[in-house]
Amino acid sequence: MGLTQGGAARIASAKTYPQPSPSPQSPDIQGQPLDALIHSLEKNFHSKQAHRISLAYGAFQRGKIDRAIQGVDPIVRPASKLAPADAYIDYAHWIRFQAYRAKAEKAIEQKHYALVNRWAELAIQSYLKIMETSPMSPLTRPSSKDLATVELVLGDANWGLQHWKLSQSYFEKALFRLNAQNALISVQPASFAHYAATCRKQTTPACITWLNKVKASFAAQSKEVAAIIEEFPEISDQPKIKPFRAQKLVTTYRTGDLDQTAFTAALQLSLEKRSSKAAQAWGQFLNDYPRSGLRIRAKYWLGQSFEQDHEAEKAKKVFSDLQNEAPLTYYGLLASFKTAQPLNQGIEGELPVAIDTDPSLQPNESFHLRRAQEFIAEKAPELAALELRELKARDGISSEFLLYLGMLNSLAQNTATGLQIFSDLGQRGFEGIRTSFGLRAIFPRRHYALIEKYSKSNQLDPILVLSLIKQESAFDENAGSSVGALGLMQLMPATALETESNIPIHRLHQADDNIRVGTTYLKKLLDRFHGNIALALAAYNAGPNAVDRWLKTAGPDTTLTEFIESIPYKETREYVAAIIRNYFWYTYQIHGDRLNNLDGFWKSISAPSPKPQNGNA
């Protein structure tokens, strides 16, 4: 859960700092505790225009399509031609666009093809008005994908009217638009079948190209591929074209970054248990690269080297400093096991101080900030989230304002953007996130009821699944990776079909379907690796065959910490470590329990048989 209105109330009841203090980065702006800023937001940012838009959008969400259109008509068609343009006119056109699109989709279900054309054309006109009236609107990017769905509906309608050439044209416009956004999976199999049927009536080079693209983009056993082959069977005989890679006469050779090279050499000494030389290497690394992104990892292994070399006091000092410096990291967690000091002892119960503006904001950023504040005040979080996605963390913005921006994203349930902001604050070492507020914002619990439901049916720990989803997608149902992974649990379509053969690929963006299939797949991986959670997590990210290869080089006495450090894929190594970190803090947040070791993540398996990790290795 992000900071919903209920969350805001809980913050308001928490202990606050007694006196507002000036922001150290913005000395002319007085900081205030977050509860005061929330109160100011709810009191001072109401807007008649935002209220009207919120009511119309709420009507649309409840299926009151005509009421939604009527709600924005006074904005789109003001009584006087001399009336100034409404500040939210882009939202008025957007709501009309969404409403007419919904009407067109309903008409296609009822096979009222003439009505489809009418509603779809009105939707397209509204979409064009967004771009015409509001150059800074955040609505054109999400609406571009929606425009493709209107073109798909027009393709289906003209197929029904047997207007083959026109139908084919609309389908190809939609496919071009969706392919550019890596979103072909949103097309229904029936639409692919209709497009293939128009290609049967009028075969063109573009048809063959697009049908081959669809065939290459989906698993061979998918409903999407079956749909086009049924209507255009010749496409199944098309040879798979291998990409041609031209050889260059000149090649650029890159050496590894100096800090990475030094880190790798020091780590090898640690893994070989050459503790004295390792301690020297780690000390030299920290001296030479004090701002390296590998610094936290290096500090942990320096402490390990001192411990192995029986330098207890030095080890204790390093681990204590690391725990205090980075309590919300995996390595801060490992350090707490060494010190036997509760990791949560550095988490403040008081609310941090923030500011609600920043002198370095650009005009477009101030524009989006104001509209986000007004939408939150009107209890329209989805609309606020659209504006907040236009506001990113950057070096010129103060940490105190970024904290406020992170709070706005939590109120808007805009988890992915909020987590990016809090990650930036963590890298800055900003103390304001080491609070109970920071924990709730950094470790939200969205979709937890569904997670519990499907975890129970697959005999999984729901906190493990929650921790995985946070790392995979930051709770963004529409998340998609560059390699084609989809939804909350970032499932590859082929993997999803192997797990549940009748799942339509486009439904992987639905929370219920994604979590159901994802938890089933995770359970299969856990069974494959005999309950070893760390290995299953690594396999979930990198594939089980990669984990099998890594285990062949792991010695029988390999610990959990050593296994994670030896993972050759940076993404997978950080992924497994982050999920373990997530699990610790979610367990503390949900049950109030504090893990004292990581034994549960590392169970011995055959050939090789790693020994359990007890947190003191």
DSSP 509: G
pLDDT-derived band at 238 (thresholds 50, 70, 90) equals low
| pLDDT bracket for residue 221 (50, 70, 90) | confident
Which residues have CB under 8 Å from 93's CB, separation 6+? 72, 76, 126, 127, 129, 130, 133
In which element (H, E) is residue 217 found?
Answer: helix 205-217
Q: Say which amino acid occupies 613.
A: Q
pLDDT of residue 395: 87
Q: Are 120 and 153 a contacting pair, CB within 8 Å? A: yes
CATH 1.10.357 fits 48-237, yes or no: no
Tell me if 612 sits within 8 A of 599, measured CB to CB. yes
> Measured between alpha carbons, how far is 247 from 590 in angstroms, rounded to an integer?
56
Query: How confident is residue 78, by pLDDT bands cut at 50, 70 and 90?
Result: confident
Q: What is each CA distance from 93 to 177, 207, 534, in whole angstroms?
A: 21, 34, 49
**CATH ID of 258-346, from 1.10.10.10, 3.90.1150.10, 1.25.40.10, 3.40.50.2300:** 1.25.40.10
Asked whether the predicted pLDDT for residue 15 surpasses 50, the reply is no
Q: Give yes or no for residue 90 having a pLDDT over 50.
A: yes
Instruction: Check pLDDT > 90 for residue 100.
Output: yes
pLDDT beyond 50 at 27: no
611 pLDDT tier (thresholds 50, 70, 90): very low
The amino acid at 507: R
pLDDT one-digit tens code per residue, 448-469: 999 999 999 999 999 999 999 9
Q: 354 φ, ψ to 5°?
A: -140, 175
CB atoms within 10 A of CB 220: 11
Residue 542, Cβ density class (10 Å: 0-12 exposed, 13-18 middle, ≥19 buried): buried
Which of these CATH numbers, 3.90.320.10, 1.10.530.10, 1.10.10.60, 3.40.640.10, describes 448-601?
1.10.530.10
pLDDT band at 614 (very low <50, low <70, confident <90, very high): very low
**Rounded mean pLDDT of 205-215?**
94
- pLDDT number for residue 617: 33
At 604 the pLDDT is: 65
Given pLDDT bands bounded at 50, 70 and 90, which one contains residue 235? confident
Q: How confident is the model at residue 557 (pLDDT cuts 50, 70, 90)?
A: confident
The confidence score (pLDDT) of residue 247 equals 60
Tell me the pLDDT band of 548, cut-offs 50, 70 and 90.
very high
- Hey, where are the domains in the chain? 48-237, 258-346, 448-601
Question: Do the domains 448-601 and 48-237 match in fold?
Answer: no
Q: Out of 62-66, 123-127, 182-186, 378-382, pick the least confident.
A: 182-186
- Give the pLDDT confidence score for residue 252 in this predicted structure: 56
Rounded Cα–Cα distance for residues 340 and 334 (Å): 10
The reported pLDDT for the residue numbered 24 is 43
pLDDT above 70 covers what percent of the chain?
88
Measured distance CA(358)–CA(461) in Å, rounded: 43
Q: What is the pLDDT of residues 161-178, one digit of tens each?
A: 999 999 999 999 999 999
Q: What is the pLDDT of residue 525?
A: 97
Residue 406: what residue type?
G
- For the stretch 518-521, contacts whose Cβ atoms lie closer than 8 Å and that sit 24 or more positions apart, written own/partner, are 518/465, 518/487, 518/488, 518/489, 518/491, 519/451, 519/454, 519/455, 519/457, 519/458, 519/460, 519/465, 519/489, 520/454, 520/458, 521/489, 521/491, 521/495, 521/496
CB 529 within 8 A of CB 605: yes
**Residue 257: its pLDDT value, please?**
85
Do 465 and 455 contact (CB within 8 A), yes or no?
yes
Least confident of 331-340, 365-374, 604-613: 604-613
Kindly report the average pLDDT of the chain as a whole number: 88
Count the helix, strand and coil residues of the chain and give each as a percent rounded to the nearest 5: 65, 0, 35
Peptide bond into 239 cis (omega under 30): no
For range 518-534, the mean pLDDT: 97
- The lowest-confidence range among 17-21, 63-67, 269-273 is 17-21
Q: What is residue 7's predicted lDDT score, i.e. its pLDDT?
A: 41
Q: Are 146 and 152 spatial neighbours (Cβ–Cβ below 8 Å)?
A: no
Give residues with Cβ within 8 angstroms of 387, minimum separation 6: 138, 368, 369, 371, 372, 375
Which pLDDT score is estimated for 236?
A: 80
Residue 244 pLDDT > 70 = no
pLDDT of residue 67: 97
> In terms of Cα–Cα distance, which of 151, 238, 168 is closest to 203?
168
Q: Which of 75-84, 109-118, 406-415, 494-503 has the lowest mean pLDDT?
A: 75-84
Q: Pick from 585, 573, 534, 537: which is nearest to 332 by CA?
A: 585
pLDDT, residue 412, reads 93
pLDDT at residue 21 tops 60: no
As a whole number, mean pLDDT of residues 511-532 equals: 97
* 272 C-beta neighbours (distance < 10 Å), count: 10
pLDDT, mean of residues 21-47: 74
Task: Give the residue numbers annotated as catalytic, written as ranges.
Answer: 472
pLDDT band at 607 (very low <50, low <70, confident <90, very high): very low
